[in-house]
Amino acid sequence: MTRWTELCATIESGRPFGDRRRLENALITELKRAAGIGICSRSAVHWITHQKVGDDREEVGLLKYGDADLGKHHAIRLYGLPWVDDAVLSLMAVVERSGSVWQYTVSVVGRRKNTNTGWYVRVDLDPGPRGSGPCSHPLLHCHVGEDATARNVQEVRAPLPSLGADEALTWILATMDPRLEP
């Protein structure tokens, strides 16, 4: 077994999370930390909601509310970040009835303060492998830096160790403001 295969197996084994309510509560806990230091609205914790997406899945995230938009998705405006202006946070997860996280995306998009160029960080857990070989498109990966798609170039995907959607939110918020490092 290669390290890549081991990483895929570890990520797959980390999909079971409990249930939708547990995931909602974990995301709300992280947003409370962010609101507590004033980088997002205190109302943000009330914007996490869920909806059915088929017979055996529910989507959790900013589905109906937010104080910003990120494309067609509701988002949370982030304030007073040390390195990024005009930042918005978006998050979504799909949980199976069994309690496994099928897919998630957590992202922040904004502008770098020193250069006024676009900047983003996004963590994605895909439903399954894409491409051939475990390294072609890692199941759990992050994108960070300038938005490559805006320049029509290939995005760089860096594989990550197993993280739940709430842990990805914790990591992204910590990259935004060092006061949120665990």
Q: In which residue ranges of the chain is pLDDT below 50?
A: none
Give, as one character, the DSSP assignment of residue 40: S
Instruction: State the residue for tokens 């230091």.
Output: 37
- Give the pLDDT of residue 31: 96
129 three-class SS: coil
Please give the Cα distance from 182 to 174 (Å, whole number).
8
- Percentage, residues of the chain above pLDDT 70: 93
- Give the pLDDT of residue 44: 95
Within a 10 A sphere around the Cβ of 179, how many other Cβ atoms?
A: 14
- Give the pLDDT of residue 93: 95
Contact 144, 158 (CB under 8 A): yes
What residues contact residue 138 under an 8 Å CB cut-off, 6+ apart?
A: 7, 8, 157, 158, 159, 160
Opening angle at CA 98, ends 92 and 101, nearest 5: 25
- Percentage, residues of the chain above pLDDT 90: 55
Opening angle at CA 85, ends 82 and 89, nearest 5: 95
Go through the chain and tell me how many residues it has. Answer: 182
- Give the pLDDT of residue 142: 92
* pLDDT tens track for 78-112: 999 999 999 999 999 999 988 899 999 999 999 99
- Give the pLDDT of residue 14: 84
- Give the pLDDT of residue 137: 77
Q: Is the pTM of this model over 0.75?
A: yes
